[in-house]
Amino acid sequence: MQIIAHGGVGGTREQDGCVEEALEKGSKGTETPLEAVVGVVRELEDDPIFNAGTGSRIRLDGTIQMDAAVMTPEDIGSIAAVERVRNPILVALEVYHSPYVFLAGADVTRFARKLGYEDYDPSTEKREKELAEMKNKLKGDDKELDDLRNFYRKVGFGDTVGCVAAEDGNYAAAVSTGGTDYCIRGRVGDSPVPGAGFFVGEHGAVVTTGKGEEIIKRMTAIRCHDMIPEYGIKEACRIGVENLPEDTTLGIIAVGEEGPWADSSREMPQAKKL
């Protein structure tokens, strides 16, 4: 099985070891690409160094809302704004196996509780300190909304996680994120949006990471997937990254007949298994 995982564009290559460890542990003993990507992302969610699951970023109101998704050519399971669960990717997998495709907000949290997912606080001391710093920077200005826009444009958008896998022409993708800095409650980025943050089709599996608003506008994942037959996987990823505005952070991982590949506008911790 061929697998590639990332730890978020804007992260550091020093985190490669953490991604590699999660890849090895999460994919061990798995029999299908779907099992592998879910296992890897679950491990990444449990590592507080990343912005997914434990260690998710805290929104300006002090809450944590997380997004996650899984996809194969057969089906999709996506969730947005789930709260107080340990592993959002497992809840997304439950949606994948349900009659539904996409659940959001308080209802997805209730869905998780009904299935036995216990209450869990994913916050960490590091994220609490980051929240205090953000609030301090926004304090004392009558034009707070303008300040928020300015700060939001400069956010690094790092540390979210994703994984794609392939075996014998079967593909799967999984993504998970805790959102971004300077983020209001209810904001949803690209990660749970099919075609934007992830896509799986006949040519392979693609996952993106970066500035979600720009990725959604361009539906980066499906565009990259659709370019693979004409340009090859390496060039499709490169074009996908270059298609966004110059100041936009973006990373792409993909796998197809040519194997796994990654491209990014900034450093992006990653690991492969061939």
Catalytic residue ranges: 160
Name the residue with tokens 């809840």. 91
Q: CA–CA separation, 119 vs 122, rounded Å?
A: 10
Q: CA–CA separation, 233 vs 244, rounded Å?
A: 18
Kindly give the pairing relationship between strand 161-167 and strand 2-6.
Answer: antiparallel
Q: CA–CA separation, 8 vs 159, rounded Å?
A: 4
Q: Give the list of residues 6+ apart from residue 53 with CB closer than 8 angstroms, or none.
A: 42, 44, 45, 46, 66, 86, 87, 88, 89, 122, 176, 178
Counting DSSP H helices and E strands in the chain, the numbers are 9, 11
